[in-house]
Amino acid sequence: MNKNIFKWKHFETEIIILCVRWYLKYPLSYRNLQEIMEERGLFLNHTTIYRWVIEYSPILNRGLRKHLKRTSDSWRVDETYIKVNGNWTYLYRAVDQHGDTIDFWISKKRDRYAAKKFFRKALRSPHNSNPRVITTDKHWATIKAIKNEMRLNRLASSTKHRSSKYMNNIIEQDHRHIKRVTNNVPGFKHFKSACSTIQGIESMNMIRKRQANTSLVSDEINLINQIFQVA
């Protein structure tokens, strides 16, 4: 990222990053943030904050990847629901046995193709270990996707697959942190904007879990400034 991504913006870079970070981290609506900024003497429209979130969330997600600690080889995979334009879409997610986020993928359908896309994205991520064991629910599409990745040697043939609701409680709990933020949104209007926003929310969730060695809020701010190349 060599170019100045904040060039020609009408507000200071620090204000933009602050609004984006707070929206992605806390259960705040765009109008909530507008009011908070007004209390500080900054008058901006909630749609402006929306555009910032859509623009900078994917950049945050891409930049964060190289800072993430390596995950373990025990994966817990599950899907949760996100409403887009009045329709339910599927957010595929995986965490390891410590609760660290492995990866995520949002899809309009819950089928073998979506599960395949999720696994291939997760397996390509450099911070992930090739799984020794994958725990899922009993949905046929996920099981077929795992078998397909084994057949293509993207997953080791020794990878163990198990279906256990009890052992998947850890990811069910992790869904709540994502829902805590997304539930404050009265439904995404467009699938593209949902994809962009989810990237930012998931990124902030990984930072919250200290997957990028951020133990203090100041560490979090410094990391995000580094990703956006802000002094």
What pLDDT is attached to residue 184? 72
161 within some domain: yes
Tell whether 127 and 162 lie within a shared domain.
Answer: yes
Tell whether 60 and 87 lie within a shared domain.
Answer: no
Read off the CATH number of the domain in which 122 is found.
Answer: 3.30.420.10
What pLDDT is attached to residue 2? 52
What pLDDT is attached to residue 163? 85
Tell whether 98 and 173 lie within a shared domain.
Answer: yes
Q: Phi and psi dihedrals of 180, rounded to 5? A: -60, -35
What span, in angstroms and rounded, lies between the C-alpha atoms of 211 and 64? 10
| Beta-carbon contacts of residue 149 (< 8 Å; ≥ 6 apart) | 116, 119, 120, 123, 155
Q: Name the one residue in this structure whose structure tokens are 């993928």.
A: 105
Tell whether 79 and 128 lie within a shared domain.
Answer: yes
Domain tally, the chain: 2
184 within some domain: no
Q: What is the pLDDT of residues 43-81, one digit of tens each?
A: 999 999 999 999 999 999 999 999 999 999 999 999 999
Tell whether 79 and 163 lie within a shared domain.
Answer: yes
What pLDDT is attached to residue 139? 86
Angle at 177 (CA atoms; ends 75, 204), nearest 5 degrees: 85
What span, in angstroms and rounded, lies between the C-alpha atoms of 154 and 120? 8
CA-to-CA dists, residue 150 to 90, 116, 120, 126, 132, angstroms? 24, 11, 11, 19, 12
Amino acid at position 229, single letter: Q
152 within some domain: yes
Mean pLDDT, residues 18-46 = 94
Q: Name the one residue in this structure whose structure tokens are 């998947």.
A: 168
What pLDDT is attached to residue 186? 67
CB 82 within 8 A of CB 88: yes
Tell whether 173 and 84 lie within a shared domain.
Answer: yes
Tell whether 114 and 172 lie within a shared domain.
Answer: yes
78 within some domain: yes
Tell whether 168 and 78 lie within a shared domain.
Answer: yes
Strands 87-96 and 74-84: antiparallel
Q: Is the pLDDT of residue 1 over 60?
A: no
Tell whether 47 and 120 lie within a shared domain.
Answer: no
The interaxial angle of helices 13-25 and 217-227, nearest 10 deg, is: 120
Tell whether 88 and 144 lie within a shared domain.
Answer: yes
Structural domain for 87, as ranges: 74-177
